[in-house]
Amino acid sequence: MYYRLFKNALIGPPAKAYYRPWLEGGEHVPEAGGAILASNHLSFSDSIFLPLVLKRKVVFLGKAEYFTGKGPKGWATRAFMEGVGVIPVHRGGGRASEAALRTGLEALHAGELLGIYPEGTRSPDGRLYRGKTGMARMAIEAGVPILPVAMIDTHIAQPIGQKVPSRHPIGVRIGEPIRIDAYAGLQEDREALRELTDIVMQDIAALSGQEYVDRDSAQYKRQLEREERDSAETLPDE
C-alpha cells in the first residue's frame, strides 16, 4: 500500500521534478518475472532513486526491527520502509545471512525485482569493493538473471551523514542481463559463486567508472575506524 503512495504521490513526483534523475539501459529490465538488480552502493538515497526511475516495483531486504517499532516514530519508520520497497528479514533463530537468503529467494520466486548491494555496505570512499557471493547463490537457486546497476553521483548529492540529498545530477545506468545458465546446480560451489560474483562486479565497475578494490568494504571501514581512534588517542593534550 505505502509503496504506490510513496512512489506515485508523496515522494516520486516531487523527487523527479526536483532532482531530474536520468536512466540508461532501462530496456534491459524484464517486463515481468524475477531478476536481481545488483548495484554499487554510494549513498542511502540509492534505494530511493533506483526504484524511482523504473516502472516496475523494486524490493530490498531490511532488518525486521525496522517494522516493529512502537508509537508515531515506529509507525513512520515502518511506513517509510514499506514505501521504498523494503521487505523484512526475520532471522527466526538463524544467522542473518541465511535469513536474508531465504527472504530473497521468496521474493525472486514470487517474480519480484530484488535490489541488492553486493558490497554489503556503502562505499567509504567512492570506490567499488569486492562483492559478496550471496547474490550469486540466490540467482542460481532461483534461476533468474542478474542485472548490473551503476548509481551515478548519489554520494555527491548525499554524502554519508547528510539527511537530505542536495540538488545534483543523479543517474542510474543498467547493463545487459548476466545469464546464469552455465552455473545451474552450482549454488554450493564456492569457486563458481566467486567467479559469477566477480563477473557482476566487473560489469558494475565498467558501468560506473569506479576504481575496483579487491577487498571487503566492511573490513576496510573497521580498519579506518581503528586508525581514526588510534590517531585521536595519540594526539597531545592541549
Amino acid 231: pLDDT = 65
Summarize pLDDT for 44-57 with one digit per residue, the tens: 999 999 999 999 99
pTM over 0.85: yes
Q: Where are the domains of the chain?
A: 2-234
Cβ neighbours of residue 37 closer than 8 Å, sequence gap 6 or more: 29, 50, 58, 113, 114, 115, 116, 147, 149, 174
- The mean pLDDT value for 184-212 works out to 97
d(CA 35, CA 53): 17
Amino acid 150: pLDDT = 98
- The mean pLDDT value for 143-160 works out to 96
d(CA 29, CA 55): 9
Residue 234: pLDDT over 90: no
C-alpha cell at 45: 538515497
Residue 189: pLDDT over 70: yes
Concatenated DSSP letters for 204-234? HHHHH-PPEE-S-HHHHHHHHHHHHHHHHHH
Q: Does domain 2-234 have CATH number 1.10.3720.10?
A: no
With vertex at residue 60, the alpha carbon angle to CA 56 and CA 61, rounded to the nearest 5 degrees, is 155
